[in-house]
Amino acid sequence: MLRRHGVHVTAQRLAVLRAVSDRPHSTADDIDKAVRADLGAISRQAVYDALATLTDNGLLRRIQPARSPARYEDRVGDNHHHLICRTCNRMVDVDCAVGTTPCLTAADDSGYEVDEAEVVYWGRCPECVASTSTSDDDRSQRSSTPRNPDQHSPRATTKEEMST
């Protein structure tokens, strides 16, 4: 597959490709950890370089959701869209409902030659919806021990988001 895309085959690139394929929508950090567990001696920079090369050559797709690190996946070329949970950041694929070149028809394209439509559906995943619809004392107990402290980045508490 690498050769077909004109990319020189290296152990690093194969490992990165395998890691992304095993866990689609991972961040570069996640992939770095997975590749290191797999290959051992590999620098962070080498993993990032491999991700960039594979993305530039069309073997991987990079998704850049607002206020979130970039994610990578190996499902390329179909312009599928994504559902993202605001609470736990879980991202899943969603096919577009219309045609083979989904959502390419803008209401008014202003004369642009459109070749891609980027759609992200934001909300809460079923697990997160279920976990907040439990009883009140259950919830206060949970809030003292957050399940996922990673998500509390300073950026996550802007004024804009607090008011929503």
**Tokens 């991972």, residue located:** 26
Q: Which of 14, 42, 83, 88 binds Zn ion (CB under 5 A)?
A: 88
First CA to last CA across the chain, in angstroms? Answer: 45
Encode burial over 122-148: b for 16+ CB neighbours within 10 A, e otherwise: eebbeebeebeeeeeeeeeeeeeeeee
The region of 45-53, 104-112, 117-125, 133-141 touching Zn ion under the rule CB under 5 A is 117-125
CA pair distance 145, 127, nearest whole angstrom: 17
Q: Does 55 bind Zn ion (CB under 5 A)?
A: no
Q: Does 93 bind Zn ion (CB under 5 A)?
A: yes
Select 45 or 148, whichever has its Cβ closest to Zn ion.
Answer: 148
DSSP one-letter code for 84: E
The alpha-helical segments, DSSP class H, found in 23-156 are 28-39, 44-56, 126-132, 136-144
User: Minimum Å distance from CB 110 to Zn ion?
Assistant: 28
Select 109 or 161, whichever has its Cβ closest to Zn ion.
Answer: 161
Q: Which of 85, 103, 104, 120 binds Zn ion (CB under 5 A)?
A: 85
Select 27 or 87, whichever has its Cβ closest to Zn ion.
Answer: 87
**Which residues of the shown chain bind Zn ion in the complex (CB under 5 A)?**
73, 85, 87-88, 90, 93, 125, 128
